[in-house]
Amino acid sequence: MAVVDLGAAPGGWSQVASRVVGPEGFVLATDTSMFDSIDGVEIILGDFNEETVFDSLLVAAGKNIDVVLSDLSPNLTGVREIDQPQCFHLADQALDFSRRVLKPGGAFIVKVFQGSGFDEFVLDLRRVFNAVTIKKPKASRSRSREVYAVATGFDDHGRRVNE
């Protein structure tokens, strides 16, 4: 199994992914912040928004990835009208990356914040994945708008949902 972890620092998801895939698997992690090396994980340091880093990820990941994890988050300002669009910009970039590297049937797990743009993003996920569920971590504060969209069954054949 091959996994890419976008926004990986401090490395918790990468550690879990490395244990799950085992020595026969592959985990590629990236973030703008440096974090300790993790056995079985290749790290690319850089800003996911920069074309050179994005291209490096594509080259390193290939087109045979089973799972893309995205815990990307903008530097939050506390102003919803600023933070929300930035959050979905990163989520859209992660979805674009997923569409370029996932093998058929692959999965995409992405952190998003409920609010403006949420429904449209979930619809975009449903266009290219067979199933999409929304999960709120138990550790998340009840007032937090943070959730994870879990999309499985990658099938990017231009399907349109309810259009």
**What is the pTM assigned to this prediction?**
0.88
Q: Looking at the predicted structure, is the pLDDT value of residue 139 above 80?
A: no
Q: Looking at the predicted structure, is the pLDDT value of residue 78 above 80?
A: no
Task: State the angle between helix axes of 118-128 and 80-101 in degrees (0 to 180), rounded to the nearest 10.
Answer: 10
Range of weakest confidence among 85-89, 97-101, 144-148, 157-161: 157-161
136 in catalytic set: no
Q: Provide the residue type at 40 as one letter.
A: G
Instruction: Give the residue extent of every domain in the chain.
Output: 2-154
> With contact defined as beta carbons under 8 Å apart, do 150 and 132 qualify?
yes
C-alpha distances out from residue 107 to 45, 86, 99, 151, Å:
23, 23, 10, 6
Range of weakest confidence among 65-69, 122-126, 136-140: 136-140
Which residues have a Cβ under 8 Å from the Cβ of 139 and sit 6 or more positions away? none
Q: What is the DSSP-derived secondary structure letter of residue 56?
A: H
For CA atoms 75, 122, 50, 11, give the dihedral sign: positive
Of the two residues 72 and 158, the one the predictor is more confident about is: 72
From edge to edge, which strands make up the β-sheet containing 41-45?
A: 41-45, 26-31, 2-6, 65-70, 102-113, 146-154, 129-135
- What is the average per-residue pLDDT within 112-121? 90
pLDDT score, position 158 = 53
* Residue 58 pLDDT grade (very low, low, confident, very high; cuts 50, 70, 90): confident
Q: What is the DSSP-derived secondary structure letter of residue 21?
A: H
Choosing from 63, 111, 135, 136, the catalytic residue is: 111
- What is the average per-residue pLDDT within 24-36? 93
The token pair that represents 35 in the structure block: 């974090």
CATH number of 2-154: 3.40.50.150
Share of the chain above pLDDT 90, in %: 61
Q: Looking at the predicted structure, is the pLDDT value of residue 162 above 50?
A: no
What is the average pLDDT score of the chain? Answer: 88
Q: Which helix (H) or strand (E) holds 107?
A: strand 102-113
Share of the chain above pLDDT 70, in %: 96
Q: Looking at the predicted structure, is the pLDDT value of residue 159 above 50?
A: no
Cis preceding-peptide flag for 104 (omega within 30 of 0): no
